[in-house]
Structure 1
């Protein structure tokens, strides 16, 4: 067995978008599961069409010989206490734990504008030391609890939320312990003006989950210049699958191999399936990652997976 023990999974966003039902909302979940398994994916992250009862979810995934990768949790620790959040997360945490998931995607949705028509610069921010400290303390307590149940928090830095930029991630990481894992989302950190490889190098010990999302720089530039909302950027194609944008996945995968990362690589690309056909793009993302993972070695300064014209 290779020392680089990673598994390649996918989020159902390639087929159907939870935030924008108009993008593939009519597609049955069974289509996504059938096509994902046919392509070669080993597991799926949750979407809003999955069963929320542990045994029903286990039975469904077993039909397709798929594993549960993880599942997004909409947290509100910016507004409520750790104790309130622990009470709220119960059913979701049980769903993950009973289906073998060892990480939980934590997305802070308090005050977020990721689903609203507001321009991205109007996102919420913590401005004071006290605000950062209070939030970090709540997150730490919450994360220690989920870890006691066998599931580690994988904190998702996200466009339109409190923790979006590399500087935001720095503030959060320095105020929390290893109980709080970091989800590296290559697309979101690039959109936010950062470098996924630099973030990975800085927090190698904290990265416990990876969303492999590519970015179209020309669309990101338009989103910034025209004050688009996050959803406008998505509709206009800011994100795509690995191998179809500007992210240097060869270097990212090479660094993950070097640090001994063991976990999931998850293809996640919010796109309009009418413009970006689900099967073709999901397959492209899989083949890009599969080739990099299976390569005997990757040079530190390898070229990007695709040159941008």
Structure 2
């Protein structure tokens, strides 16, 4: 494998979206199956799904020889005066991430649609004031994470959020401070709206701080946009497909990433919520084998 790209996986690839949900695979089974699939690195995922006590989590991971690449969180910053509420939510996750020896926290913008029901929560377009609040809020959140916990903010564009299309992503990068905010390049969410992950790597090489690897069904993605289908509904329609069946070409993405000087975690994150507990492991094994062959 390339020395500067490290492969891992995430709870999403086991259908884990929430800290507690009866439809989800139990945490102990998830951790066991990560090892069985061949991975050594994981993300923490939804805060509270895995143990939040650092000693307990370290014991669970150590027993399986697993390591943490980073944490994950949502942040609602698209409105003025929301930084303190966002920080209160994010700080414990940053603390746990740091306690596990990880240096990255993937920050997903709050969605304008509910991620479970698909119902619209607010306008899908931001005013100028709201866009400024979003970018300045992420700068401040990233500054606090770095200065207080030594954790780098990796912004994650997302379907049904205000930063989804490639022009939105590029505008966000232009309007944020690279000292405090960089990009978790999620290949699936970029492709969902017809974006080009390799172009983003080439255009903003110094801003690529982390990778999420997934593929989408391009025909279903086009239909989702044309018919305004919610992201949560498209996941139930299996828009995220097992590599190499979808787009983008992950071999091309990894090849481009390997040219960058910085070390990158490349975390497999195939959304499959909800899914049968017996479904993820065979997919994870095949995906690990395929991606390893691309590196």
Q: Same fold (TM over 0.5)?
A: yes
Partner residue in 2 for 1:95 = 96
Moved over 4 A (4+): 19-22
- In the alignment, the residues of structure 2 paired with residue 242 and residue 106 of structure 1 have an alpha-carbon distance, to the nearest angstrom, of 25
TM-aligned CA distance change 1:47 to 1:131, over 3 Å: closer
TM-aligned CA distance change 1:247 to 1:96, over 3 Å: same
Maintained 8 Å contact 1:216/1:246: yes
* SS in structure 2 at match of 1:155: strand
Deviation, 1:249, is 1.2
Q: How does 1:134-153 map to 2 (within 5 A)?
A: 134-148=133-147, 149-153=149-153
- In the alignment, the residues of structure 1 paired with residue 202 and residue 89 of structure 2 have an alpha-carbon distance, to the nearest angstrom, of 34
Partner residue in 1 for 2:62 = 62
Q: How does 1:26-175 map to 2 (within 5 A)?
A: 26-48=24-46, 49-79=49-79, 80-109=81-110, 111-118=112-119, 124-128=124-128, 130-148=129-147, 149-175=149-175
Structure 1 residues 148-179: Cα deviation after superposition (integer angstroms, max 9, x where no partner): 12100000100011111111111211111212
TM-aligned CA distance change 1:135 to 1:262, over 3 Å: same
- Range with bigger deviation, 239-248 or 274-283: 274-283
* SS in structure 2 at match of 1:259: coil
- In the alignment, the residues of structure 2 paired with residue 251 and residue 292 of structure 1 have an alpha-carbon distance, to the nearest angstrom, of 9
TM-aligned CA distance change 1:282 to 1:90, over 3 Å: same
Cα RMSD of the aligned pairs, angstroms, is 2.5
Which structure has the higher relative contact order (CA within 8 Å, separation 6+)?
2
- In the alignment, the residues of structure 2 paired with residue 77 and residue 131 of structure 1 have an alpha-carbon distance, to the nearest angstrom, of 8
